Amino acid sequence: MSHVHSFAPIAGSTATRLILGSMPGVASLRAGEYYAHPRNAFWPIVAATLHFDGSADYPTRCKQLVKNHIAVWDVLHTCTRSGSLDSAIVESSIVPNDFVTFLTAHARIRQIFFNGAKAEQMYQKYVLPKLSPGLAEIPTHRLPSTSPAHAGMTFAEKLTRWQRIARH
């Protein structure tokens, strides 16, 4: 079991959409980068959707998100788990990120997208009850997880579903 901490958000002052994961996996934590596992489809999907080079270095990819008014963060600030799977998170160890402060500082955010069901479930349980009515009313959308553990959907199917981030 490891006690793990999430990263600071990738977010510019003009962000209108927020993509939320649950907690970075082991490969991401080692690299210090969101979605660093080589088989995670996040960067290829987002790059294809927003039309930028998904093989660019990490700082360049992050700049592309900001340029496209997209913020990325995780629902959890810290938790205890073994490995990378959300199912291994020890429920009693969960501490969510401070969404009141984040959403207030990024008041242009009009859509929240979840990278998988677990991120959505944790947001609904640990974050939503703490939000003011105005912040709680930001529309949310669950997208299929880009994790290699979510193998029940092809890359093409995930890409089709994720393309809605470009339409908002």
pLDDT tens per residue, the chain (168 residues)? 889 899 999 999 999 999 999 999 999 999 999 999 999 999 999 999 999 999 999 999 999 999 999 999 999 999 998 887 777 788 889 999 999 999 999 999 999 999 999 999 999 999 999 999 999 999 999 999 999 876 788 999 999 999 999 976
Tell me the C-alpha distance between 80 and 33, whole Å: 19
Tell me the C-alpha distance between 160 and 85, whole Å: 24
Please report the pLDDT score of residue 105 as a whole number. Answer: 97
Lookup: tokens for 131: 């939000």
114: β partners: 20, 142
Q: How many CA atoms lie within 13 A of 11 on its CB side?
A: 22
What the chain holds in terms of domains, given with CATH numbers, is 2-167 (3.40.470.10)
pTM across the whole model: 0.95
